[in-house]
Amino acid sequence: MSIPAAVGYITRSEGTAEDVAPDADHGLSLLDCSADPLRAKTVSPTLISLSIEQDNWIEWAGTAAPNMFFYNALDNLRQLAGEGLWIRIGADSEDHTNYNPDIQYAEDIFPAYTNTTPYPEATNITVGCDYYKLIAHLPALTHVWWGVNLGQYNITAAYLESQALLAAFADPAVVAQGTTLEYIEIGNEADLYSNNGARNSSWNPIEYTREWIEFATNISDSFDLYSRTYPKLIGGAFANSAFGTSGFSPQAIIGAGILNSAPGSLIRTVSQHHYSGSFCQGSGGLLQDLMAKSTIRTNVSEFAPDIAVVRSYGLDYVFGETNSYACHGAPGVSNTAGAAIWTLDYSLYASQIGISRLFFHEGVGYKYNLIQPVALNRSIIDGSSLAAPIPPHVQPQYYSAIIAAEAIGSSGSAQVLELQFDDPWTSGYAFYEWGVLRRALIVNSQAYLSGTTAARNTTHVDINFIGHEFGAGPTSMQIKRLNISYADATSGLTWGGQTYETSDARVSGPLVMEAVPVSQGVDVQETEVVMLSFIV
């Protein structure tokens, strides 16, 4: 069925849009994917995925029994996506991990916490025989990639970890639920090794490529990864990119011959890491700066040269670790509802330039978590002791993952197209299934902050279908809203009137949606997301 193009017009007004006449016309296109297939991008409902710091993996998964809060939070997403989730496990911890079969699960050594870093990563992790088998505690059909140690240049450690990984994923309990080890990642953020003492100052992409090939050859030959359907290997996982061939980047290691090596033939996906800022020195950013539409596009589009080169080799490209502010997030920014607005626009825009998944980094007690999987005894903001533990809970960004999965849908044929609003605060995306327009998301990223005395501004969007030979299009739509009190709120969000801020992470409350004629358009408040579902 051919769906016509649609054009809408937006205006800004104080209060509600009905009070003020339009003052400008700004083109917004909902283009017919069947007529313009090159513009709409195929997208997975697992676009927003998770990266987990592996030092506290046993707390995320649970040992004697599954961590049901974490399980439920993942299962909500799995049900909406209609397919298995993707999870990366490793990060900084992977270069501090060794294997000892005499240990059952894991023994971690953590440094002292600070006000800036209330929940630091472990400096030493020793894992044992049942550590990797805990993957059986996650929802069925989960796709996993796991990192092994390159930073300590101990090839025996990487070999033993890989051996234990493959044994765990061959365990009957894991096989029965269809969970797969898709990738092994060798080393995390190797471009930083000369900064953190893992290598000397002469460390460069050529040296990295040589060492990666050495470790990858040992692993791939020892376990005959060439004849296996999975796991394959991840390439890169760098913290930064030189966006060329002169420093660490996908282009540099491809130029150094990584893909021409025997284990390089096992690389299916290239991963890079990206944060929008840093809280490593305790200096945070402004919430509105994070949320800004222009900032998102500038930050993400700079990766376009790397993406183009990677995809020219037929490889997938992902942000294998990402989030708002590096070093676990900035207080009053990363843990807020405004970060949920940012996450949604950031992820969907990334899909438009060739990034197939974004793995949002998580750690126990991190400020930017989507999910806090266990009770916390210290404040995530400043490390101060809490009068009573905070039980497991979801944070505002979790709603972004829910909304993205729901908007993309479970058809397996989804395509997404960015809508071109001529407005600095409004973004939009159209979602198609089998070439038919089904849904649209409109995101208002202007921060409405607590303490604001001015009226909350509203953007009105008119939707007019044009370009069809009969001039027809959907006449009815349903509106679903992400309700947020203030951009700097840390809780109290609802999606369609329902909340996920429950003791078991399951959704609660009656569903609230508005059924209106398309001709009526829609009002979108500052710091709000609306989903339009078209009745066709």
Cβ atoms 446, 73 nearer than 8 A: no
Looking at residues 366-395, what average pLDDT do you find?
Answer: 97
Residue 258's SS3 state is helix
User: Which run of H or E residues covers position 75?
Assistant: helix 68-81
Q: Residue 435: its pLDDT value, please?
A: 82
Q: Using the structure block, give the residue that is written with the tokens 């040296």.
A: 207
Q: Using the structure block, give the residue that is written with the tokens 């709409």.
A: 40
Looking at residues 166-189, what average pLDDT do you find?
Answer: 97
454-486 pLDDT, tens per residue? Answer: 999 999 999 876 544 444 678 899 999 999 999
Q: Residue 365: its pLDDT value, please?
A: 98
The architecture of the domain spanning 5-42+415-535 is Sandwich (2.60)
Residue type, 308: A
The CATH number of 48-408, from 3.40.50.1100, 3.40.710.10, 3.20.20.80, 3.90.1150.10, is 3.20.20.80
pLDDT band with cut points at 50, 70 and 90 for residue 38: very low
Q: Residue 33: its pLDDT value, please?
A: 30
pLDDT at 30 over 70: no
Residues whose CB falls within 8 Å of the CB of residue 373, separated by 6 or more in sequence, listed in order: 59, 60, 67, 69, 70, 73, 364, 392
Q: Residue 278: its pLDDT value, please?
A: 84
Between 21 and 229, the more confident residue is 229
Q: Residue 20: its pLDDT value, please?
A: 30
Q: The whole model's pTM is what?
A: 0.93
Q: Residue 3: its pLDDT value, please?
A: 28
Other C-beta atoms closer than 10 Å to the C-beta of 195 total 12
Looking at residues 417-423, what average pLDDT do you find?
Answer: 90
Residue 106 and residue 110: Cα distance in Å, rounded? 13
pLDDT at 14 over 50: no
pLDDT at 137 over 90: yes
Other C-beta atoms closer than 10 Å to the C-beta of 453 total 4
Q: Residue 493: its pLDDT value, please?
A: 98
Percent of the chain with pLDDT over 90: 85
273-329 pLDDT, tens per residue? Answer: 999 988 887 776 789 999 999 999 999 999 999 999 999 999 999 999 999 999 999
Q: Residue 119: its pLDDT value, please?
A: 97
Domain ranges in the chain are 5-42+415-535, 48-408
286-300 pLDDT, tens per residue? Answer: 899 999 999 999 999
Q: Residue 192: its pLDDT value, please?
A: 97
Residues whose CB falls within 8 Å of the CB of residue 455, separated by 6 or more in sequence, listed in order: 14, 15
What pairs with residue 464 in β-bridges? 7
